[in-house]
Amino acid sequence: MVNISIAGKRYRFGTGVSVEPKLWLDEKQTTRSTGPNRNANLKRMTVIYAFISKAYNDMNPAGKDKALSLEDVERFAAQIKHFLSPDAAKLGSDGTSFEDRFHEFVATYTMRTRTGQITTRRPGAATLGLYTRTLQCLVDWSSFAKKQLTFESINETFYTSFCTWLVEKRGLVDTSVSNHVKVLKTFMKWSRHKGYHATTAWEQFWRDKRTGDTIALTVDELRRIRDVDLTDKPRLNRIRDIFLLQVYTGMRYGDLLKLAPKHFDDEVGIIRFTTEKTHTACIVPITGPLRSLLEKYPSRLFEVPSGVKFNVYLKELGAVAGMTKETVIAKYVGGKREETSLPRSELLTSHVARRTFATTSLRFGVPEAVIGAVTGHAAKGMLQQHYINFDEETIRDMICKAWEQL
């Protein structure tokens, strides 16, 4: 319990922390180190103490002589009760709801470093889109389950019901469910730091990070797509050019949309750009195959279709190129592995191009560290992070020489 004495009144509230008497150190008012949930309990009590202290200081700022009225004290007590009560109303003490806080999160959240430090960098458009879809799923689940969304309701029962609903009612695979859980945990952590709640159950939500099977083109398939005659299919011819541009550069689809003439340094033979997703500076060598492709686009301007249309057209391109061999792929749904046999043309997407660049480069003998410098992936291990530093000329020469094998 938390006991508060203020202005001649005494208040007593439940903290939501339950500890066996034998695991509680009464003289120190804390849990024993042997307690199974010691860290979670201490974290919650620390957050509660910080919230109450802030609420008091906001009511009676330090350094000012202010007599507290009965209204001040009752408002202070109601604020704490709302914060601690597991049966809190949908609206907060200031009239805001869980949904309002989530909208605030989407509008204002900035990225954190791996150590939790706050930056001024906002998430990319795709990530913000995922945040919005997660909120919509939460609202839809709330309507389906006839349950109010509150910070206190985000517990184990909610987690089981929400994840089951995403699989059974929305037809999502486990990877997509995991993405929604990740967003929810990020929001709950952000909102706790803001002092909007002190719950901890969400910290135990598990994310199934297993991904379904994906493909990269073999060198033979890449050559087949490059060389197939599309003279009488001008639309697919343009789609092939865009796909090969992605294969030869290893760019994400979002970066391809923003590719402009200013990024090309033809004299040096380099494309320089910063990735939208991770804000990483990338160095893409203009290899022989890429240079041949760019000769068709002297303006360095490319007409890239929407992501949905692009993926549909790529499957058509794969079929025309004879990618009929079937491949068994697997996905996880509700924790169960489901296998499906599909023609490889049906597995062709824009991201296959990026994966093909990395796989083909590795097959041609390019070191992972050099591939990472092109694709913008983080360096692995202390050696790559602190000691290996390739200059542009080295990256260009290694990649260009390797891709001569195509």
Each residue of 46-55: pLDDT tens digit? Answer: 888 888 988 8
Q: Is the pLDDT at 92 greater than 80, yes or no?
A: no
Residue 213: name the closest of 173, 166, 167, 242 by CA.
173
Q: Is the pLDDT at 268 greater than 80, yes or no?
A: yes
Residue type at 232 in one-letter notation: D
Q: Residue 378: helix, strand or coil by DSSP?
A: coil
Q: Where are the alpha helices (DSSP H) in 169-286?
A: 174-193, 219-227, 234-249, 253-257
Q: Is the pLDDT at 401 greater than 90, yes or no?
A: yes
**CB neighbourhood size of 390 (10 A):** 16
Buried b (16+ CB within 10 A) or exposed e, 41-76: bebbbebbeebbeebbeeebeeeeeeeeeeeebeeb
Q: Is the pLDDT at 364 greater than 50, yes or no?
A: yes
- Considering the segment(s) 219-403 as one domain, its CATH architecture is Orthogonal Bundle (1.10)
Distance of alpha carbon 141 from alpha carbon 165, whole angstroms: 7
**CB neighbourhood size of 134 (10 A):** 20
Q: What is the pLDDT of residue 30?
A: 83
Q: Is the pLDDT at 333 greater than 90, yes or no?
A: no
Q: What is the pLDDT of residue 285?
A: 95
Counting Cα atoms < 13 Å in the Cβ hemisphere of 23 gives: 14
Residue 190: name the closest of 105, 103, 98, 80 by CA.
105
N-terminal to C-terminal alpha carbon distance within the chain = 71
Q: Residue 283: helix, strand or coil by DSSP?
A: strand
- Full DSSP string of 304-371: PPPHHHHHHHHHHHHHHTT---EEEEEEEETTEEEEEEEEGGGG--HHHHHHHHHHHHHHTT--HHHH
**CB neighbourhood size of 262 (10 A):** 9
Which residues have a Cβ under 8 Å from the Cβ of 321 and sit 6 or more positions away? Answer: 221, 224, 225, 228, 345
pLDDT band at 60 (very low <50, low <70, confident <90, very high): low
**CB neighbourhood size of 222 (10 A):** 23
Distance of alpha carbon 209 from alpha carbon 334, whole angstroms: 13
Q: What is the pLDDT of residue 21?
A: 84
pLDDT band at 104 (very low <50, low <70, confident <90, very high): very high
Tens of pLDDT, residue by residue over 200-256, are 889 989 887 766 567 899 999 999 999 999 999 999 999 999 999 999 999 999 899
Q: What is the pLDDT of residue 88?
A: 46
**CB neighbourhood size of 342 (10 A):** 12
Whole-prediction pTM: 0.62
Per-residue pLDDT, averaged over 306-325, amounts to 94
Distance of alpha carbon 187 from alpha carbon 193, whole angstroms: 10
Fold of 95-209: DNA polymerase; domain 1 (1.10.150)
Per-residue pLDDT, averaged over 381-400, amounts to 72
Q: What is the pLDDT of residue 65?
A: 55
Which residue ranges make up each domain of the chain?
Answer: 1-85, 95-209, 219-403
Residue 68: name the closest of 7, 9, 27 by CA.
7
